[in-house]
Amino acid sequence: MYIKKRKLARGVAIVGAEMSRFGAFDDRITRDLFVEAFGEMRKAVDKGFDPRDIEAVYFGNAANEQFEFQGHLAPILADWVGLVPRAITRIEAACASSGVAVRQGVLSVASGVNDVVLVAGVEKMTGLSAELTTSVISLGCDQVYEGKAGFTFPGLYAAMATAHMHRHGTSARQLMSVALKNHRNGALNAKAQFNATIADLMARRIARCRERGEPAPGWKAEWDFLEDAEANPVVAWPLRLFDCSPVSDGAACLLLASEDIARQFTDNPVYIIGTGQASDHALHERPDMTAIMAARRAASEAYDMAGVRPQDIKIAEVHDCFTIAEIVATEDLGFFAPGAGGRAAEEGLTARDGPKPINTSGGLKAKGHPVGASGAAQMVEIWRQMRGEAGPRQVAGRDIDLALTHNVGATGGTCVVHIFERRQ
């Protein structure tokens, strides 16, 4: 595959990053989540800054019209954080909305048009019934062919999982290894929707049964729980409840600055040295459902721009909207050979203390997946880890000088990959 070598016309750095708490919040709407993330991000800029220095805003949001019946969100968000009359642009690319928004922010700074840009993502998903929410999320797939055939997102990823199992022998237990790991990481992330291991959730359910005077389930280990068809029911075979990311509310914000002024904001910026984006046909039109071509192409473009290889990347946040998606991502990014991602997860290679830590934040699975915010939130974790500020889940004993994020829209119709560098 020919990929033109691209480069940024000037360097771009993240100088501040934070997110709102992710979860299901009855009392909060999109603007509240955005205000919270913006306020948290302001506190994360070491030397402080005047919000009036922000010249433009790019934010991702997938479906606010449907989730909240509110369109033209951009000026409302600008107003709520005091940024009117700055130019603010909303990007819609399904679950890759804020990954693409960050890319647009990077390009606008690299071009020289802007020096300081706010990039963000926000989604409020939990205000509708489960059925309606599922229908809204499904708008990201091809409605004419896939929607009409009855596919929902768990169904589409289940088709990918089935193909991966058939071709590579990937097992249900390997899928569950991803969920176990990501919940372990999420348990150490106070902002995660599931700030709990699967063992914690299991213990809570047992306690609940006891309180109600019902017989307590006999699970001894997390595997017993995950293999219990009642505790972990099939959503779309072979994917069960714990193979799915949850429905979530949340927002994330990052401040970008051109390389030459980044140290005015912090002595410890994180540089964005590679960005790649690609598109693909709808899932039903693809010759192969065991890989996502757009992810491979976006990764190739980003690696090329950054001048690094998959083996140079120390940690990555990848798009694990379903457990199979993480396995496919680690293969598409070149961390493991095609077909070897499931085994790698099962053997602990992607654990926090493994050779290639993946989704130390808890990933979309445990941290939560407010679709339009997820791409930006992945970078919040990278910002923390690269600066040694990830607290109890900090990857220890190695220099995290290079990191990567991988953000997928729907089943991979849009993919965006970024590569980050920390310099001494």
Query: Which sequence positions are flagged as catalytic?
Result: 95, 369
Contact 329, 418 (CB under 8 A): no
- Where does this chain touch ligand COA (CB under 6 A) — which range of 71-79, 110-118, 240-248, 399-407? 240-248
- Where does this chain touch ligand COA (CB under 6 A) — which range of 41-49, 102-110, 238-246, 381-389? 238-246
- 387 in contact with ligand COA (CB under 6 A): no
- Where does this chain touch ligand COA (CB under 6 A) — which range of 47-55, 242-250, 256-264, 343-351? 242-250
The DSSP output letter for 92 is -
Helix (H) or strand (E) holding 255: strand 249-258
Which is closer to ligand COA, CB of 30 or CB of 138?
138
Two structure tokens written together for 195:
């700030």
Residue 121 identity (one-letter amino acid): G
Residue 53: strand, helix, or coil:
helix
Integer Cα distance of 405 and 133 in angstroms: 26
- 95 in contact with ligand COA (CB under 6 A): yes
Which is closer to ligand COA, CB of 180 or CB of 188?
180
Contact 3, 300 (CB under 8 A): yes
Q: Among candidates 304, 387, 312, which has minimal Cα distance to 44?
A: 387
* 99, 246, 250, 370: which one binds ligand COA (CB under 6 A): 246
- 241 in contact with ligand COA (CB under 6 A): yes
Site string for ligand COA, 119-148 (x = CB under 6 A): -----------x---x--x-----------
Q: Rule CB under 6 A: which of 158-217 touch ligand COA?
A: 205
* 22, 49, 59, 242: which one binds ligand COA (CB under 6 A): 242
Two structure tokens written together for 411:
């089943």
Give the number of other Cβ atoms within 10 Å of residue 56's Cβ: 21
Residues in contact with 210: Cβ distance below 8 Å, sequence separation at least 6, in sequence order: 216
Taking the CA atoms of the chain, what radius of gyration do you get in angstroms? 20
- 244 in contact with ligand COA (CB under 6 A): yes
Which is closer to ligand COA, CB of 113 or CB of 216?
216
Which is closer to ligand COA, CB of 244 or CB of 415?
244
Two structure tokens written together for 189:
């992330």
Residue 164: strand, helix, or coil:
helix
- 412 in contact with ligand COA (CB under 6 A): no
Integer Cα distance of 377 and 250 in angstroms: 9
Least distance from ligand COA to the Cβ atom of residue 168, Å:
22
- Where does this chain touch ligand COA (CB under 6 A) — which range of 143-151, 239-247, 294-302, 309-317? 239-247
Contact 356, 350 (CB under 8 A): yes
Contact 400, 386 (CB under 8 A): yes
Least distance from ligand COA to the Cβ atom of residue 403, Å:
23
Expressed in percent and rounded to 5, the helix, strand and coil fractions of the chain are 40, 20, 40
* 30, 197, 245, 266: which one binds ligand COA (CB under 6 A): 245
- 283 in contact with ligand COA (CB under 6 A): no
Which is closer to ligand COA, CB of 232 or CB of 268?
232
Instruction: Return the residue matching tokens 């280990």.
Output: 221
Which is closer to ligand COA, CB of 158 or CB of 305?
158
Residues forming contacts to ligand COA in the complex (CB under 6 A) are 95, 130, 134, 137, 153-154, 205, 235, 241-242, 244-247, 321, 369, 371
